[in-house]
Copies of this chain bind each other. A is one copy, B any other.
Amino acid sequence: MAAKVKKAPRPKAETPKGFRDYFGADVAERKAMLDRIAEVYHLYGFEALESSAVETVEALGKFLPDVDRPNEGVFAWQEEDSGWVALRYDLTAPLARVYAQHRNELPTPYRRYAMGPVWRNEKPGPGRFRQFYQCDADTVGAPTVAADAEICAMLSDVLEVVGIPRGDYLVRVNNRKVLNGVLETMGLADDAQQAAVLRTIDKFDKVGEAGVRELLGKGRLDASGAYIDGVGLSDDQAAPVLAFLTSKGADAGRTLANLRDAIGASAVGAEGVAELETMAELLGAQGYGSDRIEIDPSVVRGLGYYTGPVFEAELTFEILDEKGRPRQFGSVSGGGRYDDLVKRFTGQEVPATGVSIGVDRLLAALRAKGRMGGATTGPVIVTVMDRDRMGAYQEMVAELRNAGIRAEVYLGNPKNFGNQLKYADKRDAPVAVIQGSDEADRGVVQIKDLVLGAKIAAEASLEEWKSQPAQFEIARSDLVAEIRKLLDKSDA
């Protein structure tokens, strides 16, 4: 008796947790969108950059959004010759490294765009993946807020170019210095209290003015009935924050005046308000009014590294959430000025500003509005009636392709003809071509109009069905011309 051979278990055919694959139309649609965005970036003078996906942990630094713990949130491992390395978690940290490394060869200012996947080692959830696309544009080495204004204008152009019409989005601009001015006037006890105030400001969208007032003071009973402790400020201390949050006026002039009140005598606050004013002027000169770009003091942006203007693009239309309730689509892009990121490497301050577009969210928005997809068509399928005449079928697809028509021969097992038509259906094929030896002898082919066929199957009576106008015979020599006619018809 032979000894039993122990078989190795089969590997599981699964992506690692939090990763996914993208097929056909999803890939094509994302590519089409990225191409359009790149065109706008290029028109504005930005140059492409593709940095390596792997960076040293040292170079990446501790700037991961929403993660305070060092080296948490990234995929990292140790290399013998490079020490700890990690997959990039965004495109901004790599840009700072690239600029520091190549600054002697690069032009200054350096306008660059970058698009590609980034990786986050976070808990995956529904619609939340560990690999996703970003599409950034940044200007390094331009100290003027004209650079920030340019980014906002470009962001507005990008949204319209990819298919979000004016009125369906808003680029909202704020300035960290204004916020710093407000905090300065409040005379806070320590950094911890300041951090608590910032966290409270971030909740303004959810809890409103009254809620923020309670949270800055003694605390608040939230919707679930739980009591949330307050920051413990007096009404007088809390006043500047509330003035700041409610400072949005009917127009930019009114908002700026309110902000000036909110910052009191703070010098850094005054600087922030002046920067916002300059941006509003520059954008106005280029025709970007408050229907596209507006000053909105409630924009905070989580990232700690912002030092001046911050901005956010919000889609203002409603979609239905997973429970069927209407809600605002919300933010698809954000950015701001970060003057200290390159300094980490070089010791010298290098001003920088930029924007990051959440490509997958933007695609989701376009799909939700029905502004994506549907236009893709499968190939013409040449079926195989006669295995020995494969060469003749290959000739047909070669002719069709040479005429620019997407076409293929069925290459599965041809025995069951029904399977071939099922395949054509699965591929969204507009046309199937059929030629048995009988047709070959007579120099003809059968053409099956699958678009019309599907329509008849859905709508036609039995009599119409039997008359089968969706299938007809043509001369072999007319193959390309007849199929082109059919495709033009179904395009129309």
Where the two chains meet, the residues of A that have a C-beta atom closer than 8 Å to any C-beta of B are: 10-17, 19-24, 27-28, 31, 42-45, 47-56, 58-59, 61, 75-77, 79, 81-82, 85, 87, 97-98, 100-102, 107-109, 111, 117, 119, 121, 130-131, 139, 141-144, 146-147, 149-150, 153, 281-282, 284-287, 344-347, 378-379, 390-392, 394-395, 398, 401, 404-413, 423, 426-427
Residue contact B412 to A109, C-beta cutoff 8 Å: yes
The 9 closest A-B pairs by CB, nearest first: A45-B408, A285-B391, A13-B100, A77-B77, A142-B411, A19-B52, A27-B48, A45-B379, A16-B82
Contacts A56-B12, A131-B54, A423-B107 given; indicate if A27 touches B45 (C-beta within 8 A): no
Q: Given known contacts A117-B53, A144-B390, is B11 in contact with A344 (CB within 8 Å)? A: yes
B101, A15: Cβ atoms under 8 Å? yes
Q: How far, in Å, is A395 (CB) from chain B's closest CB?
A: 5
Interface of A: prevailing SS: mixed
Q: With contacts A42-B406, A109-B411 known, is A281 near B48, CB below 8 A?
A: no
Which of B21, B53, B107, B390 sits near A51, CB closer than 8 Å? B21
Task: Given contacts A10-B344, A42-B406, A53-B119, list 7 more A-B pairs with CB under 8 A.
Answer: A20-B52, A43-B405, A76-B77, A107-B427, A146-B411, A153-B398, A282-B391
Closest to A343 in B: B10
Cross-chain contact A394 with B109 (CB below 8 angstroms): no
Distance in angstroms between the alpha carbons of A52 and B130 in the assembled complex: 10
Whether B75 lies near A77 (C-beta < 8 A) is yes
Known contacts A13-B346, A59-B12: does B48 contact A23 (CB below 8 Å)? yes
The answer to whether A150 and B411 touch across the interface, beta carbons within 8 angstroms, is yes
Complex formed: what's the CA distance from A21 to B144 in Å? 28
Residues of B within 8 A of A139 (CB): 411
Q: Which residue of B lies closest to A121 (CB)?
A: B79
By a CB distance below 8 angstroms, the chain B residues around A141 are 412
One complex includes copies of this chain to the number of 2
**16 examples of A-B residue contacts, CB within 8 angstroms:** A12-B59, A12-B345, A13-B101, A14-B56, A16-B79, A16-B85, A17-B79, A27-B48, A27-B50, A28-B48, A53-B131, A107-B426, A109-B412, A150-B411, A153-B398, A286-B395
Q: When chains A and B are docked, how far (Å) is the Cα of A172 from the Cα of B77?
A: 41
Residues of B close to A287: CB separation below 8 A: 398
B142 & A11 in contact (Cβ 8 Å cutoff): no
**Nearest chain B CB to A238's CB is how many angstroms away?**
34
- The closest CB in chain B to the CB of A285 belongs to B391
How far in angstroms is the closest Cβ of chain B from A265? Answer: 27
- In-complex Cβ contact of A404 among B43, B54, B282 (8 A): B43
Select from chain B the residue with minimum beta-carbon distance to A117.
Answer: B53
Q: Which of A21, A42, A98 neighbours the largest number of chain B CB atoms within 10 Å of its CB? A: A21
Given A15-B101, A16-B55, check contact A49 B75 (CB 8 Å): no
Report the separation of the CA atoms of residues A111 and B426 in the bound assembly, to the nearest whole angstrom.
13
Known: A43-B406, A54-B75, A406-B45. A59 touches B14 (CB 8 A): yes
Given A11-B56, A54-B119, A150-B409: A17 touches B285 (CB 8 Å cut-off): no
Nearest-CB residue, chain B, relative to A286: B398
B108-A412 in contact (CB<8A):
yes
Closest-CB distance, A389 to chain B (whole angstroms): 10
CB–CB B411/A147 < 8 A: yes
Contact yes or no, A12 B394, CB < 8 A: no
Quick one: closest B residue to A44, CB to CB?
A: B408
Give the CA-CA distance A101 to B21 in the complex, in Å: 10
**A302 to chain B: closest CB distance in Å?**
23
A382 CB to closest chain B CB (Å) equals 10
